[in-house]
């Protein structure tokens, strides 16, 4: 399976009640029959093989699993796939261009060394991207950026380089 | 799979949702899921049936009528927070909302869901109590409006009956001359409050308080009005000694025992400080708003 493409990963078998869902994932329509209790994070990773969405705390604190649902950032670990039926979901796999060129936010993370182990990075990027796409004024002071990032935990970097990366991304995107 | 087994229904009308909820004593209403799903992921909650109300058209949107902001059951926090008309009608809402978890959680979580979850440290229940708002519940037995003071019973417990769906919350508009303030103490921005205090103050032409509202979250089994502190401030110019007396009185409302986040003594100290600061900030803003 090509990395980052929706594939037929090993489906999880169980005797649970099932539901048919149709979700648009990164612009591609996918229809699956899944357990009603399957979380969106598990659906993306186990059913579709999109392992860029990471799973940390599974109760909404760490922010690793952040994706976009209908254009807004959301915790995929706090969403049932059943709730995303008919919705449009965007994951980290869709952020870089098809030719591999990095998105300006990814470029800024790279330039500013805003990651070490990288486990929190997909959630960080999806959260920042959604905030940049929201049509409300951006506060790019340290406090303003910390406020945007308050729902994402990083255990490596101490956040300073991530704050710098958000500011650099704003420059690259003409939002500074 | 993290959550325990359950059956799932996604009705398209309010009547169907009410019928589904009434069909099972252990059913739960699923709106945004930002409180219920963590509880289920931890297996602290194990409803046998989830009634997903996101596709019920009557439960969407918000409107302002009769000096009330009517927030329907599926209205997400962020939708209320960013609404321009709401910001003008009640600027305290956006100030409180900045402390409700984080933007991705507010994008999904609903205001009514937070009220029904009724965490004693949560901000939105405190706001409803502070402003004497209410909720409207529907069941097969009909419709009833429940005042905030009667709705919150205990940590995670409200007077909503099992077969009722809270279809809307009603948050009063803030008077044009009212000053307001909210702040809280947390270990990390967006966490539940160790203590949080909201204030609304109205002054007469001489600068004396004609109305003082104070409420707190995180300090008792449910959000509480700080009535003794309020009455000590009414009729005063909210000078330093008035504020000190009110702050001391407010500490009597701290009834939670020591826990992993803070001792009761620390919570009393934080509550006193917040009461002093929020009452003073609300009074200063009342002066600004009168001057405008």
- Listed by number, the residues of chain A in 43-72 with a beta carbon closer than 8 Å to a beta carbon of chain B are 58-60, 63, 66, 69, 72
**Architecture label for domain B59-172:** 2-Layer Sandwich (3.30)
Contact state of A77 with B189 under an 8 Å Cβ cutoff: no
Of A17, A72, A83, the CB nearest to B7: A17
Tokens of A33: 């029959």
CB distance A159 to A149 below 8 Å: yes
Distance CA B250, CA B274 (A): 10
- CATH T-level topology, domain B7-52: 3.30.43
State the alpha helices, DSSP H only, in A18-153.
40-42, 104-111, 121-133, 142-149
Contact state of B33 with A79 under an 8 Å Cβ cutoff: yes
- CATH T-level topology, domain B179-291: Enolase-like; domain 1 (3.30.390)
- Listed by number, the residues of chain B in 38-77 with a beta carbon closer than 8 Å to a beta carbon of chain A are 38, 41-42, 50, 52, 54
Stretch B239-255: mean pLDDT, rounded? 98
Q: Where along chain B do its domains lie?
A: 7-52, 59-172, 179-291
Q: Which residue has the tokens 């070490």?
A: A116
- Listed by number, the residues of chain B in 174-193 with a beta carbon closer than 8 Å to a beta carbon of chain A are 188-190
Instruction: Annotate B230-241 with three-state secondary structure.
Output: HHHHCCCCCCHH
CB distance A1 to A7 below 8 Å: yes
Asked if residue A175 has pLDDT above 90, the reply is no
Asked if residue A128 has pLDDT above 50, the reply is yes
The whole-number pLDDT of residue A1 equals: 43
Q: What is the ipTM of this complex?
A: 0.93
Q: In what order do the strands lie in the sheet with B142-147?
A: B62-65, B68-72, B165-172, B134-139, B142-147
B108 touches chain A (CB under 8 A): yes
Mean pLDDT, chain B, whole residue set:
97
Q: In what order do the strands lie in the sheet with B49-52?
A: B7-9, B49-52, B27-30
Contact state of B1 with A12 under an 8 Å Cβ cutoff: yes
Task: Tell me the three state secondary structure of residue B155.
Answer: coil
Tokens of A55: 């799973």
Stretch B78-83: mean pLDDT, rounded? 97
The helix (run of H) or strand (run of E) holding residue B273 is helix B264-291
B7-52 and B179-291, same CATH topology? no
Contact state of A75 with B105 under an 8 Å Cβ cutoff: yes
CB distance B215 to B197 below 8 Å: yes
Among the residue ranges A11-25, B146-160, B233-247, the one predicted with the least confidence is A11-25
Instruction: Write the pLDDT tens digit of every residue in B248-275.
Output: 999 999 999 999 999 999 999 999 999 9
Instruction: Write the pLDDT tens digit of every residue in B20-45.
Output: 999 999 999 999 999 999 999 999 99
* pTM over 0.90, yes/no: yes
Among the residue ranges A58-62, B10-14, B61-65, B99-103, the one predicted with the least confidence is A58-62
Contact state of B6 with A75 under an 8 Å Cβ cutoff: no
Mean pLDDT, chain A, whole residue set:
93
Asked if residue B7 has pLDDT above 70, the reply is yes
User: pLDDT-based confidence at A2, cuts 50/70/90?
Assistant: low
Q: Which residues of B fall within a CB distance of 8 Å from A37?
A: 1-6
């Amino acid at each position: 399976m090509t990395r980052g493409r929706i594939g037929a990963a090993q489906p999880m078998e169980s005797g649970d009640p099932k539901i048919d869902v149709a979700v648009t994932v990164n612009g591609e329509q996918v229809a699956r029959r899944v357990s009603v209790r399957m979380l969106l994070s598990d659906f993306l990773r186990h059913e579709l093989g999109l392992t860029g969405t990471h799973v940390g705390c599974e109760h909404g604190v760490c922010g690793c699993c952040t994706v976009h649902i209908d254009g807004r950032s959301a915790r995929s670990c706090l969403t049932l796939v059943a709730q995303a039926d008919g919705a449009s979901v965007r994951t980290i796999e869709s952020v870089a261009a098809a030719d591999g060129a990095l998105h300006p936010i990814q470029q800024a993370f790279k330039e500013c060394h805003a990651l070490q182990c990288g486990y929190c990075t997909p959630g960080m990027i999806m959260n920042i991207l959604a905030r940049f796409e929201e049509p409300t004024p951006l506060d790019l002071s340290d406090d303003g950026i910390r406020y945007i990032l308050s729902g994402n935990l990083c255990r490596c970097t101490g956040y300073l380089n991530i704050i710098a990366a958000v500011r650099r991304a704003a420059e690259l995107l003409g939002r500074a | 799979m993290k959550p325990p087994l359950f059956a799932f229904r996604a009705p398209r009308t309010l009547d169907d949702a009410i019928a589904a909820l009434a069909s099972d004593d252990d059913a739960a209403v699923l709106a945004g899921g930002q409180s219920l799903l963590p509880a289920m992921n931890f297996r602290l909650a194990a409803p046998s049936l989830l009634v997903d109300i996101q596709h019920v058209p009557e439960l969407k949107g918000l409107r302002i009528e009769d000096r009330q902001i009517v927030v329907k059951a599926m209205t997400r926090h962020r939708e209320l927070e960013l609404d321009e008309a709401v910001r003008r009608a009640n600027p305290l809402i956006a100030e409180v909302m900045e402390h409700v978890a984080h933007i991705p959680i507010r994008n999904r979580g609903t205001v009514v869901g937070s009220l029904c979850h009724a965490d004693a440290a949560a901000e939105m229940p405190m706001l409803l109590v502070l402003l004497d708002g209410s909720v409207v519940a529907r069941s097969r037995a009909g419709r009833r409006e429940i005042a905030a003071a009667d709705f919150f019973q205990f940590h995670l417990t409200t007077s909503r009956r099992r077969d009722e769906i809270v279809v809307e919350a009603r948050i009063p508009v803030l008077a044009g001359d009212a000053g307001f303030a909210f702040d809280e103490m947390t270990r990390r921005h967006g966490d539940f409050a160790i203590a949080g205090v909201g204030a609304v103050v109205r002054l007469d032409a001489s600068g004396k308080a004609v109305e003082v509202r104070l409420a707190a979250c995180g300090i008792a089994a449910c959000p509480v009005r700080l009535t003794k502190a309020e009455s000590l401030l009414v009729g005063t110019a909210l000078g330093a000694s008035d504020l000190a007396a009110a702050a001391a009185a407010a500490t009597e409302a701290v009834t939670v025992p020591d826990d992993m986040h803070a001792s009761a003594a620390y919570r009393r100290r934080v509550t006193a400080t917040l009461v002093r600061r929020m009452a003073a900030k609300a009074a200063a803003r009342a002066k600004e708003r009168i001057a405008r």
